[in-house]
């Protein structure tokens, strides 16, 4: 398995997550429902390409990791033939197909999905995983799972704010001071990670469960401000995430989907040298891997780094997500839209405090 290796950084989520050796792609266990969800958006985008619809509107797919394929089909035909995805991404996907097929042997009931690695290009990332919604189970959940997740929602900010910190990993060796519910000691929810060149603090799921409506802002301030970045950079990061959340909020108002237990992934760079090399310029939207012919030629003529973003927001984890039937009376997923609205308000308050 020399084409896949352990994932370098992970804020929360499931085990058995891997990345390609070059770090550009990410593999994880998945469900058929998640594959179908990604396929639905990819086919929608493919239809726009075939009809030569090239408007500049921001789509929900722009907030999702690029879907490369799964064990059964490998690299999807749409990407191979007409999606015109960056050739470096396609090459990494082709290289890893035999390795992923080996993973499948003896695991007939498991499927792996291959996605863009959102951390690719970051040198010293801080990562935050936020679970969206107050309803954390779908119609297929067992009674015991339903009762357990209802209890989690009622006792945490999932119920009061429609979002909850699920996990985070920050570049810091300074243990923050914060009061958690039930007087949970802070050292029981934080693990110091010295496995790499830098020291990280990894906050487990009980950190987020220990926060309340009154202390959630303090929890987010630890992620955004407990670092050695200049005040100007910290403020820029918060402003960009605030803008991204508003744009994503508006996208979701236009999408007839149901997305249970999906998450928002926040990433920002702590390497000050990368900030300086990019003149502190952090675009709100990530460059699309879907390239037109002119962009492909420009890509060949430049040696600039692949990832020019210094922070990024993504919507992830669609194991319990689906597109709604056009006849469904629901216009959008209120469960997650409320959570994003609460996040926008909370980050606005932090910005007011540091301005």
The model's confidence at residue 291, banded by pLDDT at 50, 70 and 90, is very low
Give every CB contact of residue 10 below 8 A, 6+ residues apart in sequence: 17, 127, 167, 169
> Which of 24-33, 71-80, 146-155, 324-333 bottoms out in mean pLDDT, i.e. has the lowest?
71-80
The model's confidence at residue 50, banded by pLDDT at 50, 70 and 90, is low
Higher pLDDT, 46 or 331: 331
Of all residues in the chain, the percent with pLDDT exceeding 70 is 77
CATH superfamily of this structure's domain 125-354:
Inositol polyphosphate kinase (3.30.470.160)
Of all residues in the chain, the percent with pLDDT exceeding 90 is 61
Mean pLDDT, residues 26-52 taken together: 85
Strands (E), 155-292: 163-171, 190-193, 200-203, 257-259, 263-269
Q: Specify the domain boundaries for CATH 3.30.470.160 within the chain.
A: 125-354
Read off the pTM: 0.86
Judge whether residue 344 has pLDDT over 80. Answer: yes
Is residue 75 a contact partner of residue 93, using CB atoms and an 8 Å limit? yes
Is residue 85 a contact partner of residue 290, using CB atoms and an 8 Å limit? yes
Q: State the Cα–Cα distance between residues 157 and 220, nearest whole angstrom.
A: 13
Q: State the Cα–Cα distance between residues 351 and 247, nearest whole angstrom.
A: 18
Q: What are the pLDDT digits (tens) for 198-247?
A: 999 999 999 999 999 999 999 999 999 999 999 999 999 999 999 999 99
């Amino acid at each position: 398995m020399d084409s896949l290796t352990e994932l370098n950084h992970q804020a929360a989520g499931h085990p058995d997550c891997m990345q390609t050796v070059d770090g550009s792609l990410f593999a994880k266990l998945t469900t058929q429902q998640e594959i179908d969800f990604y396929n639905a958006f990819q086919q929608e985008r493919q239809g726009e390409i075939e009809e030569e619809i090239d408007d500049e509107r921001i789509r929900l797919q722009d907030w999702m990791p690029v879907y490369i394929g799964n064990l059964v089909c490998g690299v999807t035909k749409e990407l191979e033939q007409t999606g015109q995805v960056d050739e470096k991404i396609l090459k990494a996907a082709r290289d890893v197909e035999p390795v992923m097929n080996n993973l499948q042997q003896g695991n007939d009931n498991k499927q792996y999905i291959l996605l863009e690695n959102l951390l690719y290009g970051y040198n010293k990332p801080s990562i935050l995983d936020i679970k969206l919604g107050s309803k954390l189970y779908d119609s297929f959940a067992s009674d015991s799972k339903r009762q357990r997740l209802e209890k989690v929602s009622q006792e945490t900010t999932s119920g009061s704010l429609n979002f909850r910190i699920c996990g985070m990993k920050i570049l810091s060796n300074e243990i923050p001071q914060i009061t958690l519910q039930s007087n949970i000691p802070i050292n029981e929810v934080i693990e110091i990670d010295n496995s790499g060149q830098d020291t990280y603090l990894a906050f487990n799921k009980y950190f987020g469960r220990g926060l309340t409506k009154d202390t959630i802002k303090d929890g987010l301030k630890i992620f955004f401000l407990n670092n050695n970045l200049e005040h100007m950079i910290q403020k820029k990061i918060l402003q960009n995430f605030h803008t991204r959340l508003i744009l994503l909020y508006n996208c979701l108002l236009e999408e007839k989907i149901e997305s249970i237990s999906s998450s928002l992934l926040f990433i920002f760079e702590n390497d000050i040298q990368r900030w300086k090399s990019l003149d502190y310029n952090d675009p709100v939207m990530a460059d699309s891997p879907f390239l037109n012919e002119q962009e492909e030629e420009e890509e060949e003529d430049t040696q600039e780094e692949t990832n020019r973003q210094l922070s990024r927001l993504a919507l992830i984890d669609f194991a319990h997500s689906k597109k709604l039937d056009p006849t469904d009376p629901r216009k959008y997923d209120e469960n997650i839209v409320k959570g994003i609205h609460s996040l926008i308000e909370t980050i606005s308050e932090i910005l007011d405090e540091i301005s």
